[in-house]
Amino acid sequence: MIKVTCFAGKRVALFGLGGSGRVAARALIAGGADVTAGDDQAANIATAAAEGIPTGDLASADWSGFDALILSPGIPLTHPVPHWVVKRARGADVEIIGDIELFVRERQHVCPQAPLIAITGTNGKSTTTALIHHVLQSAGRLCDVGGNLGPAVLGLSPFTPERHYVVECSSFQIDLAPGLDPTVGIHLNLTPDHLDRHGTVQNYAAIKEQLLSGVPRTGLIVCGVDDGPSEAMADRAEMSGARVERLSVRRPVSDGFYLDGHILMRARAAAATFAADMSRCPALKGAHNAQNAAAAFAAATHLGLDDEEIRQGLETFPGLAHRMERVGRVGNVLFVNDSKATNADATEKALSSYETLFWIVGGKAKDGGITSLNGFFPKIVKAYLIGEAADAFAATLGSAVSHEICGTLERAVEAAAHDAGLAAGPEPVVLLSPACASYDQFPNFEVRGAAFREAVRKLPGVTAP
């Protein structure tokens, strides 16, 4: 754990006692802060109290004595409406920050030279975070990974100058981290998401851009340029005089990395040279993963790794669970768990990576549903609809795609496995890529993915992929 000493002797209110909130409370207490913690749920308060975290009634507290409110990123700061605790803090002019802000202030305080690599974007954050961690570790660097992926940032190892911190940052976390100042700041892409919490896409984009604006002059900004808002961010960063590496998987760029077929190229002024062969990276299938690999290449180069070390890391990356994860095979039918695809944009990546598809889709639909995926409909032999979105998705598929409302995931796996087993073609794929949140039927996407794996495991004749 990292002790947060920069609040020593100060009074701090902390709200939201889930995993990262409790770690933050312990880190502040260990650093000498006087913490009063709260939560809307009695069970969370009880867990915190049992761990020795001082809890109190923040609704009736005198806020004039607090120096800061440490807010969990899950709690509404601005939209749909600010939470009552946010209003109390604002009313008393108390600053509102999150655990990543505590992390960066402490780093500035005790060890500013420890490299910090911060990653954001609508899609690809976790893959890129895990990939950079893997590349750095394979090259022998001391490296911790956390934030939105893995342990809370304040649960990572104490700062030392040679330790690298690879931190995934959601927009909610960035919104609470005005001092975020990474050595390498990475923004991958931007499509409308989480608008219930950010109001407008402009506001959402502005929050993501904060991660880039905080990169110091000696640092590096890495920015995808395949969507308009992200390209505009790269332009603004460059105009401000920062060092920017641009990433594209759609067209050549003059400074940065781009994809040419399955080859990742590095462009410098007038010349382009070979960086990596993506066909040698089995866990990084698809153009979207080439964008993640390009970000890792740019970051690792800035941190001093040579090209061969980086290629080794990309080629040996094991991949992450629930992201186009190959979970089993029956005969020539491959079963792929892409439960993490909770929006149409993420599902598009999986649909574009395979040819003969038996597609399990549905859950709690996002705005726009699956309408944007109609270009892939000809590849889909049949769709198996689950969850709340089933009727609406059936209407979207209409007569263009044969489909069946299955209701549950288990029923969908059985039906898809049966149909795919009869299919022609070299490798029919049964793909769970729901394009929906999981909350209507599962606690989260991990449990949904595990249920898919389990249903596949029960199929007669199943083998490892």
Strands (E) in 202-251, as ranges, are 220-224, 244-248
The answer to whether residue 210 forms part of the interface with ligand ADP (CB under 6 A) is no
Buried b (16+ CB within 10 A) or exposed e, 318-355: ebbebbbbbbbbbeebbbbbbbbbbbbbbbbbbbebbe
| Residues between 306 and 325 that touch ligand ADP (CB under 6 A) | 323
Query: Using CA atoms, how far apart are residues 295 and 249, in angstroms rounded to an integer?
Result: 11
CB of 282 to ligand ADP, least distance (A): 15
Cβ neighbours, 10 Å, residue 61? 17
The answer to whether residue 341 forms part of the interface with ligand ADP (CB under 6 A) is yes
Query: Using CA atoms, how far apart are residues 8 and 345, in angstroms rounded to an integer?
Result: 45
Cβ neighbours, 10 Å, residue 312? 15
Nearer to ligand ADP, 368 or 421 (CB): 368
The answer to whether residue 292 forms part of the interface with ligand ADP (CB under 6 A) is yes
CB of 349 to ligand ADP, least distance (A): 4
Q: Could you tell me the two tokens for 250?
A: 């759609």
Out of 227, 245, 338, 419, point to the residue binding ligand ADP (CB under 6 A).
338
3-state secondary structure of 38: strand
Nearer to ligand ADP, 245 or 338 (CB): 338
The answer to whether residue 403 forms part of the interface with ligand ADP (CB under 6 A) is no
| Residues between 11 and 30 that touch ligand ADP (CB under 6 A) | none
Out of 86, 139, 259, 346, point to the residue binding ligand ADP (CB under 6 A).
346
CB of 287 to ligand ADP, least distance (A): 8
Out of 20, 72, 189, 301, point to the residue binding ligand ADP (CB under 6 A).
189
CB of 362 to ligand ADP, least distance (A): 16
The identity of residue 10, as a single letter, is K
- What is the size of the binding site for ligand ADP (CB under 6 A)? 18
Stretch that binds ligand ADP, among 34-42, 75-83, 122-130, 200-208 (CB under 6 A): 122-130
CB of 247 to ligand ADP, least distance (A): 9
3-state secondary structure of 328: strand
CB of 150 to ligand ADP, least distance (A): 11
Start-to-end CA span in the chain (Å): 38
Query: Using CA atoms, how far apart are residues 353 and 425, in angstroms rounded to an integer?
Result: 15
- According to DSSP, the residues that pair with 245 across neighbouring strands are 222
Q: Which residue from 269, 266, 211, 220 is spatially nearest to 242, judged by alpha carbons? A: 220
Nearer to ligand ADP, 101 or 168 (CB): 168
CB of 262 to ligand ADP, least distance (A): 16
| Residue tagged 């050549």 (tokens) | 252
Nearer to ligand ADP, 127 or 138 (CB): 127
Return the DSSP state at 262.
T
Nearer to ligand ADP, 12 or 361 (CB): 361
The answer to whether residue 366 forms part of the interface with ligand ADP (CB under 6 A) is no
Query: Using CA atoms, how far apart are residues 424 and 420, in angstroms rounded to an integer?
Result: 8
The answer to whether residue 340 forms part of the interface with ligand ADP (CB under 6 A) is yes
The answer to whether residue 448 forms part of the interface with ligand ADP (CB under 6 A) is no
CB of 54 to ligand ADP, least distance (A): 34
Query: Using CA atoms, how far apart are residues 322 and 447, in angstroms rounded to an integer?
Result: 10
Burial of 422 from C-beta contacts in 10 A (0-12 / 13-18 / 19+): exposed
Out of 73, 124, 182, 449, point to the residue binding ligand ADP (CB under 6 A).
124
The answer to whether residue 208 forms part of the interface with ligand ADP (CB under 6 A) is no
CB of 305 to ligand ADP, least distance (A): 21
The answer to whether residue 350 forms part of the interface with ligand ADP (CB under 6 A) is yes
3-state secondary structure of 325: strand
C-alpha torsion sign, points 389, 392, 398, 400: negative
Out of 3, 26, 125, 311, point to the residue binding ligand ADP (CB under 6 A).
125
Sequence-ordered list of residues with C-beta below 8 angstroms from that of 37, at least 6 positions apart, any chain: 13, 14, 15, 17, 21, 25, 45, 48, 53, 54, 55, 56
The residues binding ligand ADP (CB under 6 A) are 121, 123-127, 188-189, 288, 291-292, 323, 338, 340-341, 346, 349-350
